[in-house]
C-alpha cells in the first residue's frame, strides 16, 4: 500500500514532477523509425511525459523533435509544410530549422534580426535499432546511448511493436514485474500460444504458488520467482527490471526473448513497447506471422493507429463461454490484451492507498521504492542508476536448480547479454 502522496510521486511524470525530472534523465523510445521514413515527410505528433511535441526529418535527413506549437500565436506546426531544411507554419509562414531555431519570419524585414531571437523548445532525437530515442533532460547531463541487446542485433533477429495503453505507466509496468499472474491470467495461452506451448517453462508454471527472491542489480532488479520442479529442484524464472521502465520477460524454450518498455504519454496513458529478439538466429517466418497476427505478446492494431483492435470500447471482446469452459481466466484473447484489460480496469491511475499486497508483490514494492529513492535523491543532485550501457546489456532467463543453490550466484553469467551465445531458457 502507498500513501496518497507516495502514489502521486510514483505516477506523475510531467516536467514539474520529481519523477518526471528523473525520467527525463534517460533516453526515451518514442517512435518506430519507419514512422519518420522520409526526408521532408509529414511531421508526426508525439506526446511524451505530458509534453506535446512534433517529430520530423529535414531535407538532409536530420531528425527534429520540437515543440508542437508555433512561437508566434500557438498554431500547431503539424499543419506546417516540411520544406527545404525547415518546417514552415501554415498560418503566417514562420519557419524553423531542425534545432527549433526560427529562420524566417516573412512579415518582418530581414535586417531586423527578429527571427534570431525566436527558438522553439527542442530535444535530441536519434535512431538506434530501428527506434527513435529522445532525450528530454538537461543537455550537459545526456547519458550514453541505449545499448540493449536487441538494438545491436541485425534487423532480421528482432521484431518491435508498440501499442497505446489507456492507463498510467506504473500499473502497466507493475504487470511486467509481477510474474506470478502468468500462472493465472495467461494459463490458457501457456498451452495454446505457438510461442509458448510445449516448453518446460509452460509446464512448470502450473504451480500457482511461486516464491520470490528479489536482488538489487546495478541498473534495477533481478527478480527471481521459483516454483516446484522435479523432486529436490526449483524451476526459476528471472525477470530483469531496468530503470526506469524496462522489463525483460523470462523466456520459453528456443523461442525468442521478449522485453517491454512502458513509456508515459501523459499520466493516464502510456505506450507499451514490445521487443522480441533472438540473440543467435533470425526470427522465422512462422514467428513473424504469429506476432503480426497478435500472437506471442504482441497485439493486432487498428490499421493506421497504435490502438489495439481489442480495446476498452468493445469490452475487450470478452468471451464468457471460453472463460466458463476454463480455456481463459479472463475471456480476453491474447496475452498482451489480457494484461491491458486488467490494468486499464484499475482506472487511469490506480489508487494504491486501497491495495492489499502479498509476498508475490515484493518485486513491485522494491521497484517502487527504487524509483522513489532515485527521484528524491535526484532533487539533492545524485545521478540516477541505470544510465550506463552495462546496465542495459542483460537478459532474462529460465532454468532448474537444486533446492539449495541460490539463483543469483549460480547463474550470474546467464543474466548477461553475451554476443553469439544463446539465452538460458527451458
As measured in angstroms, the least distance from the Cβ of 77 to ligand FES is 7
As measured in angstroms, the least distance from the Cβ of 186 to Fe ion is 6
Q: Cβ closer to ligand FES: 73 or 369?
A: 73
- 174 touching Fe ion, by CB under 5 A: no
As measured in angstroms, the least distance from the Cβ of 115 to ligand FES is 11
Q: Cβ closer to Fe ion: 164 or 393?
A: 164
Q: Cβ closer to ligand FES: 90 or 401?
A: 90
Q: Cβ closer to Fe ion: 180 or 217?
A: 180
- 178 touching Fe ion, by CB under 5 A: no
Q: Cβ closer to ligand FES: 102 or 270?
A: 102
As measured in angstroms, the least distance from the Cβ of 86 to ligand FES is 13
Of Fe ion, ligand FES, none, which one sits near residue 2, judging by CB under 5 to 8 A according to partner kind? none
Q: Cβ closer to ligand FES: 94 or 234?
A: 94
Of Fe ion, ligand FES, none, which one sits near residue 45, judging by CB under 5 to 8 A according to partner kind? none
Of ligand FES, Fe ion, none, which one sits near residue 281, judging by CB under 5 to 8 A according to partner kind? none
Residues that bind ligand FES (CB under 6 A): 70, 72-73, 75, 89, 91-94
Of Fe ion, ligand FES, none, which one sits near residue 91, judging by CB under 5 to 8 A according to partner kind? ligand FES
Window 296 to 355, contacts with Fe ion (CB under 5 A): 339
As measured in angstroms, the least distance from the Cβ of 42 to ligand FES is 17
As measured in angstroms, the least distance from the Cβ of 108 to ligand FES is 11
Q: Cβ closer to ligand FES: 78 or 306?
A: 78
Q: How many CB atoms lie within 10 A of CB 389?
A: 13
- Contact predicate 120/67, CB 8 Å: yes
Interface residue list for Fe ion (CB under 5 A): 339
Amino acid at each position: 500500500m502507498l500513501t496518497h502522496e507516495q502514489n502521486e510521486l510514483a505516477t506523475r511524470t510531467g516536467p514539474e514532477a520529481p519523477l518526471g525530472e528523473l525520467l527525463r534523465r534517460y533516453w526515451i523510445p518514442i517512435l518506430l523509425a519507419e514512422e519518420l521514413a522520409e526526408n521532408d515527410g509529414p511531421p508526426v505528433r508525439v506526446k511524451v511525459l505530458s509534453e506535446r511535441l512534433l517529430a520530423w526529418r529535414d531535407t538532409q535527413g536530420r531528425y527534429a523533435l520540437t515543440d508542437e506549437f508555433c512561437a508566434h500565436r500557438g498554431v500547431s506546426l503539424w499543419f506546417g509544410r516540411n520544406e527545404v531544411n525547415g518546417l514552415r507554419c501554415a498560418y503566417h509562414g514562420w519557419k524553423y530549422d531542425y534545432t527549433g531555431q526560427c529562420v524566417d519570419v516573412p512579415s518582418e524585414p530581414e535586417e531586423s534580426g527578429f527571427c534570431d531571437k525566436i527558438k522553439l523548445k527542442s530535444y535530441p532525437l536519434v535512431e538506434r535499432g530501428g527506434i527513435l530515442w529522445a532525450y528530454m533532460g538537461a543537455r550537459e547531463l545526456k547519458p550514453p546511448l541505449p545499448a540493449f541487446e536487441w538494438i545491436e542485433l541485425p534487423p532480421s533477429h528482432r521484431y518491435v511493436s508498440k501499442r497505446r495503453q489507456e492507463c498510467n505507466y506504473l500499473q502497466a509496468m507493475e504487470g511486467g514485474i509481477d510474474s506470478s499472474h502468468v500462472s493465472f491470467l495467461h494459463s490458457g495461452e501457456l498451452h495454446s500460444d505457438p510461442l509458448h506451448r510445449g516448453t518446460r517453462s509452460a509446464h512448470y508454471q502450473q504451480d500457482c504458488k511461486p516464491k520470490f527472491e528479489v536482488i538489487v542489480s546495478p541498473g534495477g532488479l533481478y527478480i527471481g520467482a521459483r516454483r516446484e520442479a522435479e523432486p529436490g529442484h526449483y524451476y526459476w524464472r528471472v525477470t530483469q527490471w531496468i530503470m526506469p521502465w524496462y522489463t525483460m520477460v523470462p523466456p520459453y524454450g528456443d523461442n525468442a526473448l521478449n522485453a517491454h518498455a512502458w513509456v508515459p504519454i501523459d499520466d493516464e496513458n502510456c505506450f507499451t513497447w514490445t521487443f522480441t529478439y533472438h540473440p543467435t538466429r533470425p526470427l522465422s517466418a512462422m514467428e513473424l506471422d504469429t506476432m503480426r497476427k497478435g500472437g506471442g505478446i504482441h497485439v493486432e492494431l487498428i490499421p493506421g493507429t497504435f490502438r489495439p483492435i481489442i480495446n476498452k470500447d468493445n469490452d475487450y471482446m470478452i468471451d464468457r463461454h471460453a472463460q466458463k469452459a476454463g480455456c481463459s481466466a479472463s475471456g480476453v484473447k491474447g496475452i498482451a490484451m489480457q494484461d491491458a484489460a486488467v490494468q486499464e480496469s484499475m482506472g487511469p491511475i490506480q489508487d494504491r492507498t486501497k491495495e492489499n499486497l502479498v509476498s508475490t508483490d515484493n518485486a513491485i514494492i522494491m521497484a517502487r521504492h527504487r524509483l522513489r529513492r532515485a527521484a528524491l535523491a535526484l532533487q539533492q543532485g545524485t545521478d540516477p542508476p541505470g544510465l550506463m550501457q552495462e546496465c542495459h546489456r542483460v537478459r532474462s532467463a529460465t532454468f532448474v536448480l537444486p533446492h539449495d543453490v541460490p539463483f543469483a550466484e549460480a547463474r550470474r553469467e546467464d543474466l548477461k547479454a553475451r554476443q553469439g551465445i544463446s539465452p538460458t531458457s527451458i
